A and B are shown apart, each in its own frame.
Chain A
Amino acid sequence: MDTHVSFWRSRRKWIFAAAALPVLVAAWWAFRPEKLWVNHKVSEPAPFASNTDPQPLYTGRLEGKAHQTSGRATIYKTPDGKQYLRLTDFSTSNGPDVHVLLARSAEANLTQEIVKGQLDSVELGSLKGNQGDQNYDLPASVDLQKYNAAVIYCERFHAVFGLARLEPF
């Protein structure tokens, strides 16, 4: 008689299985690997009624380039579809012929274009003040995917005072 019963036919298989099961359950509970594939999507409304107020679309912090510049630049859309750029906590140095522009944020482009005198930008007007909160209307058809930076720009000396990369709000 063959006393050497193979593993898969022996009782050891069942003992092994009985011991392994709680380990597997514990490992599953701890790591919940199925969550790697299962998403749980929620969609809560904003905590306040706001569809009558301007909605922020993009925002970013201003960083100083040629001059120390700080604050926040935010693009809002009003309920009637108009868009404007708002600067808050804003401070830059005063200077001659300073304008607010929208440009493409890629640094290399910006510098090159300025050097060549062909800055690809959307003019929003002369800087109203070198400090304080201020709004600038955007032309109706600005591609904000492309012109994704707010730039404080001195036309006379082709100097970027400050720049804010705008990210979706």
Chain B
Amino acid sequence: MAFAFAASVHAQDAMKQEGKAKTLATGTFHGKVHSTSGRATIYQEADGKLVLRLTNFKTSNGPDVHVILVATKDADDDANFLKSSTERVELGSLKGNQGDQNYEIPSNTDLSKFQTVSIYCERFNANFGAAPLEKF
């Protein structure tokens, strides 16, 4: 169809929200080895603090499971998926294998670089699930 015109119409509806917190990025989890599902969203609070929030979240329980940000576009299901060269930001131990939960992100984290959330089993270097984040 060649009916695209050179001119473009720019709309600018306001968000009906005097935001206290901004939603920066979001994505959904995928994970096959340990079935993992739910949504990961990064918020910026009014004071600039970054928070990762997991919602509708579900993964398998396991020993020594952590939440990390990885400097990749996505992460596959793969034991030993973290190479020593893969940069990561540790956000803490997984609080629960089900349910809504928040994790503080260090303030100097470059979110354009760390684009994937991984539920990571430290002990076995296994990726339970990953959520690639896209701009909200």
- Residue A168 interfacial (CB < 8 Å): yes
* In the complex with contacts A48-B43, A94-B5, A128-B9, A41-B63 CB distance below 8 A: no
- Chain A, interface residues (CB within 8 Å), range: 35 or more
Shortest Cβ distance from A3 into chain B, in angstroms? 47
- Residue A72 interfacial (CB < 8 Å): yes
- Residue A8 interfacial (CB < 8 Å): no
Inter-chain contact B95/A131, CB cutoff 8 Å = no
Inter-chain contact A39/B39, CB cutoff 8 Å = no
CB-CB < 8 A to B51: which residues of A?
Answer: 47
Inter-chain contact B16/A54, CB cutoff 8 Å = yes
Which of B54-62, B73-81, B106-114 forms contacts with chain A?
B54-62
**Which of the listed residues A41, A48, A53 has the most CB atoms from chain B within 10 Å of its own CB?**
A48
Shortest Cβ distance from A90 into chain B, in angstroms? 8
- A: residues with CB less than 8 A from B are 29-32, 35-36, 38-50, 53-54, 56, 59, 61, 66-67, 72, 74, 76, 78, 84, 86, 88-90, 93-96, 128-135, 154, 157, 159, 167-169
Bound Cα distance A61, B25 (Å)? 12
Inter-chain contact B11/A94, CB cutoff 8 Å = no
Given A41-B99, A66-B1; 4 other pairs, CB 8 A cutoff: A32-B63, A43-B99, A46-B102, A89-B135
Inter-chain contact B96/A42, CB cutoff 8 Å = yes
- Residue B90 interfacial (CB < 8 Å): no
Number of A-B contacts (CB under 8 A): 136
Bound Cα distance A135, B20 (Å)? 20
Closest 3 CB pairs of A and B: A129-B11, A42-B96, A93-B4
Inter-chain contact B1/A154, CB cutoff 8 Å = yes
- Residue B53 interfacial (CB < 8 Å): yes
Bound Cα distance A100, B27 (Å)? 24
Shortest Cβ distance from B129 into chain A, in angstroms? 15
Shortest Cβ distance from B96 into chain A, in angstroms? 3
* Minimal Cβ-Cβ distance residue in A for B98: A41
* Minimal Cβ-Cβ distance residue in B for A134: B11
Bound Cα distance A30, B41 (Å)? 31
Inter-chain contact A94/B8, CB cutoff 8 Å = yes
Q: Mark B1-30, 1 if CB is under 8 A from A, else 0.
A: 101110111111111111111010010100
Inter-chain contact B63/A31, CB cutoff 8 Å = yes
Inter-chain contact B13/A134, CB cutoff 8 Å = yes
* In the complex with contacts A35-B63, A128-B11, A159-B1, A72-B17 CB distance below 8 A: no
* Minimal Cβ-Cβ distance residue in B for A76: B16
Inter-chain contact A78/B95, CB cutoff 8 Å = no
